[in-house]
Amino acid sequence: MQFEWMKIPYALLTLFIVVNFGMLLGAFIQKIGARVGRRHGIPVWQNHIDLIKNYGLRSSITHGTMFYLGPVFRLSGGVGLLLFVPTIHGSEMFSNLSFAGDLILALYFVFFGALGMALGAGESGHPHAAIGVTRGLSQMSMAELPFALATFSIALQYQTLSITDIVAAQQGGMLNWTLFTNPLAVAAAMLSFLGSMMRPPFDVVLAPQEIPIGPPTEYHSSYLALMQTNRALFPIAKIVIYMNLFFGGAASWPVFFFKVFLIYLWSAFVGVVFPRFRVEQSIRWFLVWAVPLGVLSILLV
Amino acid sequence: MVSALYLIAAALAAAFLLGLLKEQWRGAAYAVTLAALAFMIWVSAGWLWAFALEGAAPVEIFTAGAEPPFAINLRMGLAEAALTLLINLTGLLSALYLKDALSRLGRRALAVLLIAIMALCGIVLTRDVFNLFVFFELIVIATGGLVLLSDDDHALAAGFKYLIVSQVISVFLLVGIIFAYHATGTLNIDGMAGASLGLKTGGALAFFLMFIAVVAELKPFPANGWALDIYESAHPAFSAIFSAATGAAALYAVDKLLLIGGADWLPVATGIGLVTFVAANILALPQTNDRRLLGYSSIAQTGLVLAVLGQRDILGDATPYIAFGLLASHAVAKAGLYWLSGLVAGRALADWAALRNRPLLLFAFVTFICMLAGLPPFPGFYAKWELARFLAAEGRLALLALILFGALVEAGYLFRWLGYLIKREAPAAETACTPHQATAVFAAVIAGWALGFVWGDLSGRNNLLLVLPLLFALAFLLLEWLPAWTKNTLAIAGMVGWFVLTWTEYDPLRLIFAVIFLIGGAITLLASYAAHGRRIGFYPSAMLMYAGMAMLIRATDSFDFFAAWELLTVGSYFLILRGKHSEPHALSYILFSLGGAFLILAGFALAAQGAPHFDIASLGQLGQPAQPLAPWIFLLLAIGFMTKTAAIGVHIWLPGAHAEAETDVSPMVSGILLKAGLFGLFLLLMTMGRQRLYGIELTHALLWIAALTALLGNLMAIFQEDAKRLLAYSSIGQMGYALFGLALMNHLGWLMALMFVINHYIYKAMLFLSIGGVAKRTGTREMYRMGGLIRMMPLSFIPVLIGIIAVSGVPPLSGFGGRWIFYNAIMTAELRLPLVVIFLAGPIAFLYLFRLIHTIFLGQLKDEFRRVREAPFWIVLPQMIYVVLLLVFAVVPGLALRHVDAYLNRFFPEGGLGWTGPAITSSYGYWNPIAIMIVVGVIFATLLAWLLFVNRRAQKVRQFNIVFAAERPFRPETTHYAWNFFAPYRKAMGFLVQPFVTRFWETLTDLLHTAGDLARRLYDGNGQSYAFHFLAFVVAVFLLRGGV
């Protein structure tokens, strides 16, 4: 695949669509969660309002260079992840910058933002930031494993590491989806998915309800705005990978919106039902329930 | 040529002359003795010259003008000349050393010394058994007298016990001689041999009695308590004679007797020698008294030579080369060490730290220890190689294994002692050393190196002392007076120069290793400019290591390879030992390394099947006798190489060794030295490929080991509080990845291993330097004591930031390339389960890397570090070079990998990469490093510019300006979250890092020590017990032999 300059405005268009969709979807999922708990919930445009508010805040401090760069790393990670993966199957316009690398690039670029963010938050000197990071990294180290195993399983299945080729192989009917051709891998991956969505039972990393913990503790104003943008963007970018690998990808934007919504809803669905795990419990949970599925999927593929 | 008889005549004449001198003419008496000994040396040296260089024939001397059996005859041949020279030299040097004591005691003591030396020469020269007995009796009397030279009160008792046991031995010898004479009618050794003594009635028993008596003179286990007491309590100069000269003479006597006994008795000699060698070495382990330890070592070495003599049936003409190589190493080193022990006031091993203030004496000690341990370039090394070659060819593998095991135990206590010497607190008292004593010690040092040269010359292989890199390294010994920066410049110039001279010779794979070893080594050495003063000992060690590596990549012959391997091991050992608290870790390093080296030695010996030269390339086409052994050879070599890469199970030496090493040493031993092991594994897999043992594919076993190494190395890294230990454990994990790539046995697997070789060199050298600089400034390596150092040391922070992104494999840096190739390589992997383990290992790297950077550089700055400065310029400079290298390698990995990729086609034509333009493609995917770098760079720069724009008024706040549960913290210690950083992870996964392996090895060493300690109780100091031991020994040999 070759680079053409036209790819840049197309990529920016994808970005624009996904950011807005992500903010709306995030709020919508919040609302669903609230309704399950018999609360009213936020309006769906709340994220947009927060974003504008955060950019508008006048107080702005910094603890140093890495603190400053943290949100930049974070959002670069989200944007990069989105752009390295083709969004709409068969569309040259929305194939983004996927010429730069294959599935492995996407897998490893996931960590770019997390690492930078962790570093930035660390410089604030706030112990809660560091505690959140240690929890997040500990949980991630096990939560990502079933996904990595599932990915490898389907790479073996389709004998390719190119996302485009994997999506192409699933075309021609729902039964061609990995979901049906390799259900073990998808099961492992979808359990892993729960671990990375910052929702119960795996949200002790941020502990959003009671004490502010994790990197956002010390960030505010435009820093927080960047992080919020990423909060909207990153789950969608990740879901795009899941959708492409396991659910046949999307050949048009409506299908895209629908599939992303359903996959997102899976984490919300589990989240409203189950209470929270401590980190060591979630590590064991992934090790006991998700990893064996991944191992089986590799052995049986 | 002066008749050899003068060896005896001169000593006798001088002894008589002494009797004529007045008691108070002490100077004259001493001069007469020295003159006599010098004359004897001249005689022996003249003969040695004639035999060795002029090819003279052995000479028989008929004492009474008649041929045997009617008179006693002596023989002077090459062996006799060499041995008498050894004896006379030891005698002269000991006499010099003993000047004060001998002058005090006067002519009687001098006469006894002369008689002792004369008798020893007599034992070597004579061909008559009764004459042998007479000379032994003379030795007994002289020894009894000379033991009393000592100031030690125990010497008298020791001498008395010796006399008791000697009389028992003499009785055996005499009775044996009587029966033998009765059976053969001759006392001549050759006559008895010709008369087939063993076939005559009672002849076998006669021989047994003679043999056992002479063997007893070698102090075999357990009949040697008397000798140990002498070693411990006698004057060290006499112990030198007792160990070097008496031992040599007695060995030759046994050798002569074996002529009579014939082939039947060779296994007995081997058995006694081997048991003695192993047992004495184990017994030496718990010793704390230096002279007693040397005594055990002497006994062990004599046992080893006896075992070699017993292998004459297969060693054939090589016997003298091997036996004398071992004997000469032992004699020179042991004499030297006994002489040195006279200079040390205390008797505990740690008291030898007194020598530390005398660099020349220290060098002498190191020389002796290396000789004893059989390291290159000393004769013992060549002898060990040849011995292994013969034993393996004849399938005497148990013997070989026991010898190597004993040698390893011996290396254990020798290097432990060396560690004490270099690392323990030196006593305040100055070490006194008279010129006479110094002469003796340094004569031994010179003799040691000269013998090394001679043995190299005789070996029919490359003489190591003529190999340029080694000479270059040794030259630094002579340049120690120069300031460190001059030596550093010379070292860098030498390494770069050698690379420029040789780089055209390497294939692409070797070229990569050559660049890392030589150019990489030179870059690392830039950091050494930060050191001041003369840095005595650093450059010879470092250059020895680099010389070994330079020789390693050029080696084609297995001997050259092994020699280079041992050299780099020794060099790196001394380098590691320089660290402040590295004594136990350096010891563990050298033991694992030597253990590994012995396995490699055994592997090569098995593969060569007796061939004098064995090309490493021929590992791939083993001849018929070796072919069925191929999996075993593979196993031995693989484990040997894996001790160097610290695969799980043999990894416990690495963390301490790498963490405790000096700031500029850690990057060398981690970034560079570990690659030597990978190079070995590359060679092994390139030549031998896949092997099956009992149906198990060995490369599959390697896959498992590699995956577990990666997982457990990483897991252990995250629980470290010490920053350098964390990096060290991370190295174990990274080497696991590299090994995994190799064991995949496909094109991309090997390419990935190579990618790890390059990457690991760059980022680990960089990280160790950076962390070393921080530790230097803060005075601690405990991460939780640090924090917030980004403000004080920003330049040290940058390499760590770049390093951790690279190590974790996150794009756009070069670590990602390694991961990408890894995923492509495993697509064709034959085994999938180990992949799961290695998948698990991957994300764990993030944990320890984040901990590394966070707890040191981020978080709260502590009060005591508010004035800490940036690391020294010379430590930062190479880090910056590494940063640039890492970025360059990230963008254009093809620079290094393309050629290797093409080269690997020879081994795996399938599955290479496509290199079209900037994009890299495989059969499964693609990767465009330049595009990734640009995309990430542009996104990052754009977002940063946006943030700078909207956040332009951001105000820099003070350290504690944070929201903290409505409080304003003011103590950084309470606010810096750093200790036990991954507590939840430890709760969940901590069970995996129980120190089982450490416990295993500890238990093993404890068992050996306990065994030694229990067996030591045999020697209760009672003369009657010792006599009983001798009898028990006789009975045991008799019964085990199944009678005679």
Three-state secondary structure string covering B356-408:
HHCHHHHHHHHHHHHHHCCCCCCHHHHHHHHHHHHHHHCCCHHHHHHHHHHHH
What residues in A contact B851, CB-CB < 8 Å?
134
Q: Tell me whether B979 touches chain A (CB under 8 Å).
A: no
pLDDT of residue B429: 76
In chain B, residues with a C-beta closer than 8 Å to the C-beta of A280 are 984-985, 987-988
Cα–Cα distance, B197 to B191 (Å, whole number): 9
Q: Which residues of A touch B984 (CB under 8 A)?
A: 134-135, 138, 278-280, 283
Nearest CA distance, A25 vs chain B (angstrom): 23
Using alpha carbons, select from B320, B177, B340 the residue that is nearest to residue B257.
B177
For the ranges B345-354, B412-421, B670-679, which has the lowest average pLDDT? B345-354
Mean pLDDT, residues B601-608 taken together: 95
For position A73, what pLDDT does the model report? 94
In-domain check, residue B301: no
* Model pLDDT, residue B261: 87
Final residue in a domain of this structure, among B885, B912, B939: B912
pLDDT over threshold 80, residue B305: yes
Tokens of B29: 């008496």
B-chain residue closest to A133, CA distance: B850
- For A233-274, give the secondary structure using H, E and C: HHHHHHHHHHHHHHCCCCCCHHHHHHHHHHHHHHHHHHHHHC
Q: Which tokens belong to A126?
A: 């706030």
- Residue B719 in contact with partner chain A when CB distance is under 8 A: no
Q: What share of chain B is helix, strand, coil (3-state, %, to 5)?
A: 75, 5, 20
Query: Which candidate from A97, A278, A283 shows the least CB-CB separation from B935?
Result: A97
- The pLDDT tens digits for B908-963 are 998 889 998 888 999 999 999 999 999 999 999 999 999 999 988 888 888 888 87
Question: What pLDDT, on the 0 to 100 scale, is given for residue A212?
Answer: 56
Q: In the prediction, which pLDDT does B152 show? A: 81
Instruction: Supply the pLDDT for residue B964.
Output: 67
* CB contact B893 to A (< 8 Å): no
Where helices occur in B21-126 by DSSP H, the ranges are 26-53, 78-97, 99-105, 107-125
B844: which chain A residues are within 8 Å (Cβ-Cβ)?
Answer: 141
List pLDDT tens digits, range B169-228. Answer: 999 999 999 999 998 888 999 988 888 877 777 888 899 999 999 999 999 988 888 899
- Chain A residues whose beta carbon lies within 8 Å of the beta carbon of residue B982: 134, 137-138
The four Cα atoms B1007, B1011, B1014, B1020 give a dihedral, to 10 degrees, of: -150
Residue with tokens 């190489």: B641
Instruction: State whether residue A202 sits within 8 Å of chain B by CB.
Output: no
CA angle A154, A156, A159 (to 5 degrees): 105
- Nearest C-alpha in B relative to A292: B836
B789-828 residues touching A, CB cutoff 8 A: 790-791, 794, 801, 804-805, 808-811, 816, 819-820, 823-824, 826-827
Please give chain A's pLDDT, 301 residues, in tens. Answer: 567 888 899 999 999 999 999 999 999 999 999 999 999 999 999 999 999 999 998 888 889 899 999 999 999 999 999 999 999 998 888 988 888 889 999 989 988 888 888 888 888 888 888 888 899 889 988 999 999 999 999 999 999 999 999 999 999 989 999 999 999 999 999 999 999 888 889 988 876 655 556 667 778 889 999 999 999 999 999 999 999 999 999 999 999 999 999 999 999 999 999 999 999 999 999 999 999 999 999 999 8
**Does B950 contact A at CB distance below 8 Å?**
yes
Write down the residue that tokens 């930035």 correspond to. Answer: A120
**Considering only CB atoms, which chain B residues are within 8 Å of A111?**
808, 810, 846
The amino acid occupying position B672 is: I
Query: Does any CB of chain B come closer than 8 Å to the CB of residue A259?
Result: no
Note whether B951 contacts A111, CB cutoff 8 Å: no
**At B955, which helix (H) or strand (E)?**
strand B955-956
Assess if residue B428 is contained within a domain. no
Whether residue B867 is contained in a domain is answered as yes
From B876, B892, B912, give the residue that closes a domain.
B912
Q: Is the predicted pLDDT of residue B35 greater than 60, yes or no?
A: yes
Q: Taking the CB of residue A175, how many other CB atoms lie within 10 A of it?
A: 10
User: Which tokens in the block code for residue B716?
Assistant: 């252990």
pLDDT of residue B201: 76
**B476 is a domain residue:** yes
Please give the pLDDT value at position B248: 95
Q: Let me know if residue B963 belongs to a domain.
A: no
pLDDT of B1044 strictly over 70: no
Q: Does A185 touch chain B if contact means CB atoms closer than 8 Å?
A: no
* DSSP of B777-827: HHS--BGGG---TTTT-HHHHHHHHHHHHHHHT-TTSHHHHHHHHHHHHHT
Q: With an 8 Å Cβ cutoff, are B959 and A125 in contact?
A: yes
Q: Does A119 touch chain B (CB under 8 A)?
A: yes
Q: What is the rounded (10 degree) CA torsion for A144, A147, A148, A149?
A: 130
pLDDT value, residue B972 = 86
Residue B30 lies in a domain: yes
- Residue B462 forms part of a structural domain: no
**Nearest-Cα residue of chain B relative to residue A103:** B925
Identify which of B376, B671, B728, B730 has the alpha carbon closest to the alpha carbon of residue B517: B671
Beta bridge partners of A101: B927
For residue A159, the chain B residues in CB contact (below 8 A) are 827, 924
Name chain A contacts of B932, Cβ cutoff 8 Å: 100-101, 105
Computed over every residue of chain B, the mean pLDDT equals: 92
Contacts of B928 in chain A (CB under 8 A): 99-101
Chain A residues with CB-CB distance to B954 below 8 A: 60-62, 68
* Residues listed for chain B: 1044
What residues does B769 pair with on adjacent strands? none
In DSSP terms, B927 is beta-bridged to A101, B920
- Contact with chain B for residue A127, Cβ under 8 A: yes
Structure tokens, B367: 């020389």
Is the preceding peptide bond at A201 cis, omega within 30 degrees of 0? yes
Q: In this structure, is the dihedral angle defined by the CA atoms of residues A260, A262, A263 and A265, taken in order, positive or negative?
A: positive
The answer to whether the Cβ–Cβ distance between A159 and B924 falls below 8 Å is yes
Q: Is the peptide bond before B812 cis (omega within 30 degrees of 0)?
A: yes
Tell me which residue in A111, A126, A298 faces B836 most closely, judged by beta carbons.
A298
Mutate one of B933, B943, B949 to test the A interface: name it (highest A CB count within 10 A): B943
Question: Percent of chain B beyond pLDDT 70?
Answer: 100
d(CA B682, CA A122): 41
In chain B, the number of structural domains is 2
Residues of chain A found within 8 Å of residue B850, distances taken between Cβ atoms: 115, 118-119, 133-134, 137
Q: Radius of gyration (Cα) for chain B, nearest Å?
A: 32
Contacts of B791 in chain A (CB under 8 A): 64
> How far does B939 lie from chain A, in Å, by closest CA?
6
pLDDT of residue A214: 66
Predicted confidence at residue A122, as pLDDT, reads 87
Q: Could you say which of B912, B945, B977 is where a domain stops?
A: B912
Interface confidence, given as ipTM, is 0.95
Using alpha carbons, select from A149, A186, A151 the residue that is nearest to residue A287.
Answer: A149
pLDDT at A125: 85
At A208, give phi and psi (nearest 5°). -65, -25
B379, part of any domain = no
CA distance, residue B863 to nearest chain A CA (Å): 14
Tell me which residue range forms the domain holding B779. Answer: 467-912
A298 with B924: Cβ contact below 8 A: no
